Amino acid sequence: MIEHLPALIPISLILFAFIAGILGMMKYRLSRYLAILGAVAAFGLSVTSTIHVLQTGTMSYHFGNWPPPYGIEFVMDTLTCFMVLVITGIGSILLMFPTKPGFMIDEQKSATLYTLVLLFMAGLCGMVMAGDLFNLYVFLEISSLTTFALVSIGGGKASVASFRYLIMASIGGCFYLLGVGFIYFSVGSINMADVFQLLPAVYDSPSVIGGAFLIITGLCLKMALFPFHTWLPDSDTYAPPVVAAFSAAVQIEVPAYVITRLLLNVFSQDFMVTLTPITDIIAWISAAGIIIASILAIAQNNFRRMLAYSSVAQVAYIGLGIGLANPLGIVGGIFHIMAHSLMKGSLFLIAGGLHHHNGIWNIQGFQGLGRRMPWTIGALTIAALGMIGIPPTAGFFSKWYLLLGSIDSGKWVFVAVMLISSLLNAVYFFRIIEKAFTPLNNQAASSDNPRELPGKMLAPILILATGILVAGALNVVIINNLIMPVAEGL
């Protein structure tokens, strides 16, 4: 059974999606538990396959037993394992958040919802593991279709945001498809490994360059890299908190991973770095995005809109890591995927919990919360410190590797950009922390004394906050075993 593991991860999620949907129709409470069970089962399978990959090397699964260029394959190397672990792990923690505050929907109607969440995770896992350019497109569309529905749960404004996202995501998907078409008509294959072999012969062909440009543009649209970020703030502000957490924590990172994968395993370094300035363009627009999005985040008063702009800035860090195109930069970028999903996941859950529990939307509402909700604000502080990049957290280590990568490539501008952006991060996160620890000056407000969040909401937040510290402590283990072996191939 062990050789079927790569296929079983998405398939188990899909099967649990069906079971959660069908049984949820009969007894609505079941669907939530089944969804958590499915996500945890997928996480277990990911852990098993990670152990197997670490012991025996890259796994490859040929669907229908057709050899790769002819059939579809799933490739599972250590980097894929890392991404699958992040997706299923973060997903199962986020699903533990209760339905009503998390998804803003009645529990009676939640069966469809949990089916879609599991399908969303299955789509992301498929995207990560696909070893075939077109198969990736199919999973990309599954994950975006589910997101449109999930974002729109938030009500009228969320529907408009979701529609905007639909237009942008469809343009992104279409660009990707067109790019795949150009690559296919230039080399005659859509298997990633096969394209990697065949591509050097036609590197100077305009259709390969144009196709690569279209593919990268499409993926940048999906990952909300700076000039294409316009859909993200609205959808993250109006979507239900858990959906916003999913979107910020895993959904926009997976296209970034795909770009890394394309850089490493499809278009080689020669093409992306030397022949065409694609990585340079990514690096520069990311650098611009980091600064501009951070400044925009400072200007926001709504807590969740601020987090959304912060997501744009953080995704640009990942883009910067890819754009540096050296092993340390890639390590920093990929490790930042994990750090960011832990931090942004917990921050969005806190935002959702505070809104549901206290009705707080704006940063002014945080005043005096530090005393009354020590655990929540503690988790918020840890996540905020991670965002700024203070040492024991995971956020520090990813930025550290990004800095090393920038120094390695001799681009001091990026070093300056990262230092300035850390300062900007500090400005907008310390503002909140300061507000939270400022005691209320009038006694009238203390009558409707908000107490600590209920345990059901607090548990996933605290798990994620602990995860930030644990990932920071284990950074060397994770990077040496999972990320470095692949990134060194550059």
Q: Write out the binding residues for another protein, residues 9-28 only, by CB under 8 A.
A: 11, 14-15, 18, 21-22
Among the listed ranges 167-175, 261-269, 331-339, 469-477, the one in contact with another protein (CB under 8 A) is: 167-175
> Which listed residue (31, 92, 99, 152) binds another protein by CB under 8 A?
152
Among the listed ranges 42-50, 86-94, 145-153, 428-436, the one in contact with another protein (CB under 8 A) is: 145-153
Tokens of 234: 């609205």
**Best CA proximity match to 353, nearest among 240, 225, 221, 228:** 240
Stretch (H or E) spanning 19: helix 5-26
CB of 160 to another protein, least distance (A): 6
Q: Toward another protein, which CB reaches closer, 267 or 414? A: 267
> Which listed residue (2, 4, 407, 413) binds another protein by CB under 8 A?
4
Residue 481 touching another protein (CB under 8 A): no
Q: Toward another protein, which CB reaches closer, 133 or 457? A: 133
Q: Toward another protein, which CB reaches closer, 90 or 130? A: 130
CB of 138 to another protein, least distance (A): 4
Strands 73-76 and 59-62: antiparallel
> Which listed residue (167, 470, 476, 477) binds another protein by CB under 8 A?
167
CB 239 within 8 A of CB 161: yes
CA 342 to chain centre: 9
Residue 146 touching another protein (CB under 8 A): yes
Among the listed ranges 34-42, 45-53, 119-127, 270-278, the one in contact with another protein (CB under 8 A) is: 119-127
CB 436 within 8 A of CB 358: no
> Which listed residue (170, 269, 409, 466) binds another protein by CB under 8 A?
170
DSSP code, position 272: I
Q: Toward another protein, which CB reaches closer, 6 or 329? A: 6
Q: Toward another protein, which CB reaches closer, 77 or 194? A: 194
**Best CA proximity match to 481, nearest among 124, 128, 81:** 81
CA dist 468 and 466 (Å) reads: 5
Give the orientation angle of helix 78-95 with respect to helix 110-129, to 10 degrees: 170
**Best CA proximity match to 446, nearest among 379, 375, 376, 371:** 371
Backbone region of residue 359 per phi and psi (left: phi > 0; alpha: psi in -120 to 50; beta: other values): left
The residues, ordered by sequence, that sit 6+ positions from 157 with a Cβ below 8 Å of its Cβ are 234, 238
DSSP code, position 61: E
Among the listed ranges 40-48, 81-89, 136-144, 395-403, the one in contact with another protein (CB under 8 A) is: 136-144
CB of 193 to another protein, least distance (A): 13
Residue 160 touching another protein (CB under 8 A): yes
Sign of the alpha-carbon torsion through 15, 16, 19, 22? negative
Residue 156 touching another protein (CB under 8 A): yes
**Tokens 């400022």 identify what position?**
438
CA dist 334 and 184 (Å) reads: 28
Q: For Cα atoms 282, 287, 293, give the angle at the middle one, nearest 5 degrees.
A: 115
Residue 116 touching another protein (CB under 8 A): yes
The residues, ordered by sequence, that sit 6+ positions from 178 with a Cβ below 8 Å of its Cβ are 211, 214, 218
Which residues in 63-102 contact another protein (CB under 8 A)?
A: 63-66, 69-72
CA 42 to chain centre: 17
Q: Toward another protein, which CB reaches closer, 114 or 317? A: 114
Q: Toward another protein, which CB reaches closer, 207 or 409? A: 207
CA dist 159 and 464 (Å) reads: 29
Which residues share a beta bridge with 362?
302
CB of 212 to another protein, least distance (A): 10
Q: Toward another protein, which CB reaches closer, 90 or 116? A: 116
Q: Toward another protein, which CB reaches closer, 120 or 414? A: 120
Tokens of 429: 């996160």
**Best CA proximity match to 154, nearest among 352, 357, 380, 359:** 352
**Best CA proximity match to 237, nearest among 141, 319, 173, 164:** 164
Show the DSSP H helices in 70-155 as ranges.
78-95, 99-103, 110-129, 133-152
Q: Toward another protein, which CB reaches closer, 216 or 373? A: 216
Q: What character string, x for contact with another protein (CB under 8 A) and - otherwise, covers 21-60?
A: xx--------------------------------------
CB of 254 to another protein, least distance (A): 16
Q: Toward another protein, which CB reaches closer, 189 or 422? A: 189
Q: Toward another protein, which CB reaches closer, 56 or 443? A: 56
Residue 290 touching another protein (CB under 8 A): no
**Best CA proximity match to 258, nearest among 392, 395, 130:** 130
* Site residue total, another protein (CB under 8 A): 83
> Which listed residue (142, 244, 308, 380) binds another protein by CB under 8 A?
142
Which residues in 182-221 contact another protein (CB under 8 A)?
A: 182, 184-191, 194, 198, 202, 205-211, 213-214
Q: Toward another protein, which CB reaches closer, 82 or 103? A: 103
Residue 145 touching another protein (CB under 8 A): yes
Among the listed ranges 156-164, 323-331, 397-405, 447-455, the one in contact with another protein (CB under 8 A) is: 156-164
